[in-house]
Chains A and B, each alone.
Chain A
């Protein structure tokens, strides 16, 4: 049996195990180990099984996940997050879907602190989901805008993935990071537009507030927002002034959020303990999936499917744009099963030389690659962002979240099309910087 066929059978088996309600992380581990042992032998599969969970956990870079989660939990449990949403509601609550739009905005601000997709998604979901629920937003809409907003984490600088892309391709990292800004803003606008269309077609998704709020009330609501603003100022300021690295920003953010909530007298012992308790549980939950995804990814790697698929598309004798489109389609399909970081590592050695040889700009393709990874993080069966949200809001059915993000995926595809049509949107800032 060829490795490719074992790979395909593995993917089918994974879906079957999901249907049988085997926990996602466990199912990924089972298929990863079985597949590897068929292609390379049991002893190899078991060595990998002993090493990968430990290696995945022993990671300084991934420490941003629990630390940002802790920051989000503290903001959520102390009500600082809800103060923010109250203020936003008093100003734009009469707009249908206003809070959902504000969530995308919150996510974009968080993206300027966090360079990680999972960390951004987890933090924003903990702050935003309960608040939108309070205002009777349907969960399909609220989770969709958190999932979409979270993807901004690696598009708007800092970004772990763009730095990795720069190291793997030697494209200028400074250019890559700056290049993400305009596409990030376009993406924000497209998400907001999508929300506007959704609530227009189905007003029950997001009830608008009918009673008027007096101006004085609006202004009063702002006074509760200062701790939140202070926190962002510390985090963003600290990163851009070089006081700490984006990785360290997670730890500093967590401690600052505790300090700020003590100062604003929002924190008691009970709430602090609850924040820690939920943080470590959500961390364990996310890492079981990450460990499974890594083992499964290693299996898919040696099945050679990503290699064969991208090489096949690259060798087609077609128009440059058609090849690009097929390549993105291949990335989309692979993104359904392969987690983002692995996807870049696996496909870039094949895809990047082809794309640049076709005459496309390497920095521009870096941004397109990030968008492809972002879409992959939202698509079933392995949609890490969706799983993270499910972890933060366990009562919402997973299929409802997957269904809810579909319009957001369309918005992301539209953004890719815009960037293909007008590549200058990506390259203008780096070009200006290099002058």
Chain B
């Protein structure tokens, strides 16, 4: 699933055509995940063919080189030339990108991915948070929904007192505002917890129905776009700077907004697959209409406001970022 020139070193000796590079790419998703087989293989094979094999790459999926929570640092230190993971695994480090986690912002993964990349391009504050790496593409999974085995959830009242697995600290706030008891547990524990009723519901994107096999358990799925999880793929600065200008241009042409949208689409497709599997298993989908969403939106207004306040207190223009995000939300929608 990859091509190695055997040297394993990202900075080999130069030749007439320019330096050769072997890029170590590390991420936390399974080796068969389309982020590897489509997105990274796509970038890698283009680089390889357009430089006649001068730039090669090796893929290391499933945390083989380090924990999911350490991937950003691995790109900072050069342990990986390119790393991909979830921002939320290092809470506190990237405060502004958590805007994507606010309720009712991202409507699909592709949609969320376009928003996050545009925000990144426009806000120096967000760029500052990534100043120690070279971001290649940023994206989100599709927004989290509520899945449950025993509870049909149509209004915030139905959530009252339920134990719900939360995706993030912001997820905790959302669930608390809705009257649920947020429960934190690693994704690996959620399958059994849902099945045996240790938690009554989970706030997860639909792709988990497919990727974590939750379609085997879920009976009721409430679709309301509650919170999207943002991801990064970044490159080590030294590796990037060691590339010739033409190589940098080539790389830049292969990443950025288009690639971000593609990475998002991968999750949308998995989400559709998950939806299909769950429907085949007889799960009931509850699509909240604009009218039905009203009480949810009222209940969650305070979450958005407290996010803005928190950011402003840290010296980040939270209001400005949020307002712009809401504009982009309309601009990038097709």
Interface residues, chain A, with chain B CB atoms under 8 Å away: 2-3, 39-41, 43-44, 47-48, 51-52, 55, 60-61, 158, 160, 163-164, 166-170, 172-174, 239-247, 298, 301-302, 304, 342, 345-346, 348-350, 352-353
Contact = CB atoms under 8 A, between A and B. Distances in A.
Contacts of B195: 174, 242
Interface stretch (B13-21, B66-74, B309-317, B321-329): B66-74
Interface string B159-195: 0000000000000000000000000011111011101
Contact of B70 (A51, A342, A348): A51
Contacts of B70: 51, 55
Interface in B193-208: 193, 195-198
Contact of B198 (A48, A245, A350): A245
Nearest to A163: B188
5 contacts: A167-B30, A167-B211, A169-B30, A174-B217, A350-B31
Chain B interface category by residue count: 35 or more
A349 B65 contact: no
Nearest to A311: B1
Contact of B197 (A164, A166, A242): A242
B63 interface: yes
Contacts of A2: 6
A173 B32 contact: no
A349 B8 contact: no
Contacts of A170: 32, 210-211, 213
Given A55-B67, A298-B65, A345-B64, A244 B216 contact: no
B191 A349 contact: no
B239 to A, nearest CB: 11
A40 B9 contact: yes
A302 B62 CA distance: 14
A164 B188 CA distance: 7
Contacts of B32: 168-170, 349, 352-353
Given A40-B8, A298-B66, A245 B193 contact: yes
Contacts of B192: 158, 163, 245-246
Q: Give the 7 A-B residue pairs with the shortest CB-CB distance, closest first.
A: A349-B31, A242-B196, A47-B77, A242-B197, A55-B67, A242-B198, A345-B62
A167 B78 contact: no
Interface string B75-107: 001110000000000000000000000000000
Given A55-B70, A167-B212, A172-B216, A247 B79 contact: no
Contacts of A240: 196
A304 B4 contact: yes
A382 B11 CA distance: 33
B8 A39 contact: yes
A41 to B, nearest CB: 7
A172 B213 contact: yes
B191 A163 contact: yes
Contact of A349 (B1, B58, B78, B217): B1
Contacts of B117: none
A349 B188 contact: no
Interface string B45-66: 0000000000000101111111
A52 B65 CA distance: 9
Interface of B is mostly: loop
A430 to B, nearest CB: 11
Given A164-B188, A346-B64, 11 more contacts: A39-B8, A43-B78, A48-B66, A55-B66, A163-B191, A163-B192, A167-B188, A174-B195, A242-B198, A345-B61, A352-B32
A302 to B, nearest CB: 6
B30 A245 contact: no
Interface of A is mostly: helix
B293 to A, nearest CB: 31
A245 B191 contact: no
Contacts of A60: 186
A352 B31 CA distance: 11
Contact of A301 (B64, B77, B213): B64
A168 B31 contact: yes
B73 A301 contact: no
Contacts of A39: 8-9
Nearest to B195: A174
B56 to A, nearest CB: 13
Nearest to A4: B6
Contact of A247 (B64, B69, B185): B185
A358 B61 CA distance: 24
A302 B30 contact: no
A130 B163 CA distance: 43
A168 B62 contact: yes
A299 to B, nearest CB: 10
Contacts of B74: 47, 51
A244 B199 CA distance: 9
A61 B77 contact: no
Chain B CB within 10 A, most for which of A39, A241, A301, A345? A345
B275 to A, nearest CB: 15
Nearest to B73: A51
A174 B216 contact: yes
A51 B197 CA distance: 36
B292 to A, nearest CB: 30
A415 to B, nearest CB: 25
Contacts of B31: 168, 348-350
Given A48-B79, A245-B198, A348-B31, A55 B69 contact: yes
Given A40-B9, A55-B69, A304-B4, A349 B189 contact: no
B64 A342 contact: yes
B210 to A, nearest CB: 7
Nearest to A303: B8
A61 B188 contact: yes
Nearest to A43: B78
Contacts of B73: 47, 51
B156 to A, nearest CB: 24
Nearest to B184: A60
A245 B211 contact: no
A160 B216 contact: no
Nearest to B213: A173
A169 B61 CA distance: 13
A163 B188 CA distance: 7
Contacts of A174: 191, 195, 213, 216-217
A242 B190 CA distance: 11
Contact of B9 (A41, A55, A342): A41
A349 B67 CA distance: 18
A302 B65 contact: yes
Nearest to A300: B64
